[in-house]
Structure 1
Amino acid sequence: MRTTLTLDDDVLALVHQTVHREHRTMKSVVNDALRQALSSQRSVMPYAVTPHDSQLQPGIDPGRLNQLADELEDEAITGGWPG
């Protein structure tokens, strides 16, 4: 079906960039973009987190690690004597 659309300059630039980058026709780029934007089921990339082992021990607050480092440094300087 043939129709006429008036595109904003920024949208037209995006279409032209996609046409050149993907070596496709303007018709296929616009049709695919509209199809994806208007479909009721949008494909959403799942968010994945890769877990890793941590050397933190129970009871250590990661938000206070700088304080712990300062206390350990103080102990090393004073030889364990309370300040």
Structure 2
Amino acid sequence: MRTTLTIDDDLAGILQRRARDLGKPFKEIVNSALRNGLLAETKAEPHTVKVRPHDFGGSPGIDLDRLNQLVDELEAQDYQRKAAKR
């Protein structure tokens, strides 16, 4: 298939050097680069992430879902203690 492409100057330079170094036609190098790039995309396996659970060791009687409420209560008690000393 014959077509017209606009190739960035930096890529064209790389392709021309590769063609010269390998002694192959520019057209062959371009086709090879496109083919390799497109095939690599389809063959790439998704990166898997392993997640290991961690026990944060909640204390009995403390609901970790209400941790912010506990912090607020402790801050309020601390404020009351400081206010009573004044």
TM-score by length of 2: 0.47
Of structures 1 and 2, the larger Rg is shown by 2
Higher helix share: 2
What TM-score results when the alignment is normalised by the length of structure 1? 0.48
